[in-house]
Amino acid sequence: MNDTVEREDTGRDRAVEPGEIARRMVRCPDWLNLRAACIVAAAAEKIGSAVVVTKGGVMADARSVIDLMALGVEPGETLEILAEGEDAAEAVRALAALVTGNFEVRAGTPLAASMATLSPGLPGKLNAGSR
């Protein structure tokens, strides 16, 4: 856990070196309710890197619906997404887009493609493969 990678003013992220942590601060536009927590956890399960979400110094495993719900995130609050691993920068980018996009998985994105393997019986926007 050496350096951190944060969004630069140019709007581009620099590459993450092995052992570094990718990080991004995002404002959550909506409640992190059960539906949203399930979507984030399902997306995090598809990521190879270790990913955590923090709010006010409280850390949650991004793969745990219960941990995410325990954060008690309300609209407008700021979250920090951190990832460490081979795909850390992409993991942070994907989860940040998920949070800022009101927890919708956009068709045609790498995240949508990886989540397409989820059960077709899952409701609505969680089932990215149905689009």
Asked if residue 7 belongs to a domain, the reply is no
Asked if residue 8 belongs to a domain, the reply is no
- The predicted model scores a pTM of 0.70
Domain that holds residue 41: 19-116
Q: State the CATH number of the domain containing residue 27.
A: 3.30.1340.10
What pLDDT is attached to residue 114? 61
Asked if residue 93 belongs to a domain, the reply is yes
Please count the structural domains in the chain: 1
Asked if residue 13 belongs to a domain, the reply is no
What pLDDT is attached to residue 14? 53
One digit per residue, the tens of pLDDT, for the chain of length 131 reads 333 444 333 344 555 566 678 999 999 998 899 989 999 999 999 888 999 999 999 999 999 999 999 999 999 999 999 999 988 998 999 899 889 988 877 676 666 666 665 444 444 433 333 33
Look at residues 85, 128, 76, 118 and name the one whose alpha carbon lies nearest to residue 62: 85
The angle subtended at Cα 51 by Cα 72 and Cα 4, nearest 5°, is: 105
